[in-house]
Structure 1
Amino acid sequence: MPDSAPNARELAHREMERRILDAARRHLAEVGPAQLSLRAVARDLGLASSAVYRYVSSREDLITRLILQSYAELAEAAEQATAAADPAPIAQWTAWALTMREWALARPYDWALIYGTPIPGYAAPQDTVEPATRVVAPVLRVVAATVPELGPEDAQTAAALSPLVTAVGQFDGGVELGRGAAYAMMAAWSAVHGFINLELGGHFVGVLSDPAPVYRTLVRRTAQDLGLAPA
C-alpha cells in the first residue's frame, strides 16, 4: 500500500522545522557555529524557547541537522558537476575539486560548519559519516580504479586507513577502495580542503594576487599524483 499523504498537522510541523533550520543558517552566518543558540533562533521566529524544543530536541540536534543539510547540498552540487563533465578521470576530478571551492566561497559559513574548527562541546554522530562520504563519492570510484596498492612497508598506514576503507565499502552499494587508493584520496582531499580553508581564513591576503589559478594548478598536479593525468 502506498504511504498516505501527510495531513495538515504533519505539513505544519515540517514547515516549522524548515523555518527553524533557515533561521539557524542565518544566525550561523552572523555568529558562527560555536555561538549558535536555540534561544536566538526562537527569538528570530517570534517563538518561546520552549516551543522550539517541540521540533528540535537540543542545540546539538540543531547543529547535526544543519551539518546533514550542508553535506546534502554540497554532495548534490558535486554530483551535478561531475555528471555534466566528461567521463575521463581527469575531467571528473577537476569538476569535483573546482566545485568544492566554488561552493565554499559561495557558502563559507556552511563550509566552516562541516570542515572548519570543531565546535566546543559538540561531537558529530555516526549518521553524519554517510552524508560526508557522499560528497567525495563522485571521485572515489575514479581513484579506486586508478591508484595501486600500498607496499608492505606501509603496513601502519594501511592499518590506520581501515576505517575509511570500511566506511566507503558500506556506502551506496559499496566502493572497493584499496588502501593505496584510500591513502591517495586522503592526501588529495587534504590538499583541496587545506587550500580552501586557508583561503577562507584570509591567509592568502598579501601572498597571492589571485588564488584561483594557483588552485587550478594544485588540482591539476594532484590529479597527476593520483595517476589521473599524465605528468
Structure 2
Amino acid sequence: MSEQTLSRRELYREQTRAEIMMIGLRQIADGGAEALSLNAIAKEMAVSGAALYRYFASRDELLAALVVQSYEDLARTLEASAAKRHKLGPARVHAVAAAYRAWALAEPHRYRLVFSTRLDPGRLASDEIVLASQRSMNVFLQALGSLPPHSDATGRGVSPALAAQLEAWHQRSSEPALSPATLRLGVTCWTRLHGIMSLELDGHLHATNIDPALLYAAEVEDLIG
C-alpha cells in the first residue's frame, strides 16, 4: 500500500511498526534472537509495554515479522545478482551462490535469524514465512533449472516417494514445473551451502586453516556438475 492511499492513522501505524522492527533488529544484531525484548523496545521508544502490544501481539509475532523481512531482503539480493549479467547456466548459479554468501557475511545476525530462529511450528509454517523463504529458493531453482541436463546428476535415482514430496513442496512456489532432479538439486544446494556458511559464521572453520571462500567455491562447482 502506498503512502498516498494510507490515512494519517494508518501511516502512523506503519511508521511505528517499522521503528519497532528496526529497534528489534538492532537488539538481535547485538545479542542474538534471545535478546529481543518488547519491554526494552517500549522503554527505548518511551511508550508503555501495553501500547507496543497494539502493534505486535507477542514477541513471537515480532520475531516472525523480522524473519519475513530478512527473507525478503535476502531474496532481493539474490534476484538482483541473477538479473545483472548471468542469464543461464553455471555462471548464473555461481552469481547467485556468491550473492548468498556475501549477504550472510554482511548480515550474519539476519542470516542466523532466518535459519536458526526458534518459533512455534505453526508460526514457522505460516504462509507468510513459507512464501518469503520460497522467494529466495526460487532464485536458486531458476538458476539450477538453466543448467545443462547432464549437470543434473544430484537428482539421479530420486525415489517416487521423495519425488512426490519434492513436488508437493514445490507447489507452494510460483516457479514453473521443474524436474524432480532439479528440485532435489535445489534442496541439496541449500543444505550444503548453508552448512558451510553456518560453520564459517560460527568460527568452526577457523581452526582448520581452510579458506572458507575456497571451500564454498569448491562446493558450488561440485553442485554444478
TM-score, with structure 2 as normaliser:
0.87
Aligned partner of 1:69: which letter? Q
What corresponds to 1:191 in structure 2?
Answer: 192
How far apart, in 2, do the equivalents of 1:135 and 1:142 lie? 11
What corresponds to 1:167 in structure 2?
Answer: 172
What corresponds to 2:86 in structure 1?
Answer: 86
Deviations 1:15-34 (A, max 9, x none): 11111000000111122113
Deviations 1:96-126 (A, max 9, x none): 111111101111111101112x416564123
Alpha-carbon distance change, 152 to 187 in structure 1, aligned in 2, over 3 angstroms: closer
- The ranges of structure 1 where at least 4 consecutive aligned residues each deviate by more than 3 angstroms after the TM superposition are 120-123, 144-153
Matched, 1:119 2:118: yes
Task: Tell me if the contact between 1:149 and 1:179 (Cα under 8 Å) persists in the aligned partners.
Answer: no
How far apart, in 2, do the equivalents of 1:210 and 1:151 lie? 31
What corresponds to 2:134 in structure 1?
Answer: 133
Aligned partner of 1:154: which letter? S
The correspondence of residues 145-164 of structure 1 with structure 2, limited to 5 A, is: 146=149, 147=152, 154-164=159-169
How far apart, in 2, do the equivalents of 1:65 and 1:151 lie? 38
Alpha-carbon distance change, 6 to 150 in structure 1, aligned in 2, over 3 angstroms: closer
Identity across aligned pairs (percent)?
A: 26
What corresponds to 2:15 in structure 1?
Answer: 15
Runs of at least 5 residues in structure 2 that lack an aligned partner in the other structure: none
Please state how far the C-alpha of 1:153 moved relative to its aligned partner. 6.9
Alpha-carbon distance change, 139 to 98 in structure 1, aligned in 2, over 3 angstroms: same
Task: Tell me if the contact between 1:23 and 1:45 (Cα under 8 Å) persists in the aligned partners.
Answer: no
Task: Tell me if the contact between 1:149 and 1:178 (Cα under 8 Å) persists in the aligned partners.
Answer: no
Computed over aligned residues only, the root mean square deviation of the Cα atoms, in angstroms, reads 2.4
TM-score, with structure 1 as normaliser:
0.85
Matched, 1:204 2:205: yes
How far apart, in 1, do the equivalents of 2:157 and 2:102 lie? 39
What corresponds to 2:25 in structure 1?
Answer: 25
Matched, 1:180 2:185: no
Task: Tell me if the contact between 2:131 and 2:172 (Cα under 8 Å) persists in the aligned partners.
Answer: yes
Please state how far the C-alpha of 1:89 moved relative to its aligned partner. 1.3
Task: Tell me if the contact between 2:154 and 2:185 (Cα under 8 Å) persists in the aligned partners.
Answer: no
What corresponds to 1:227 in structure 2?
Answer: none
What corresponds to 1:104 in structure 2?
Answer: 104
The count of aligned residue pairs is: 218
Aligned partner of 1:38: which letter? L
Higher helix fraction (1 or 2): 2
Runs of at least 5 residues in structure 1 that lack an aligned partner in the other structure: 225-231
How far apart, in 1, do the equivalents of 2:156 and 2:92 lie? 27
Alpha-carbon distance change, 66 to 120 in structure 1, aligned in 2, over 3 angstroms: closer
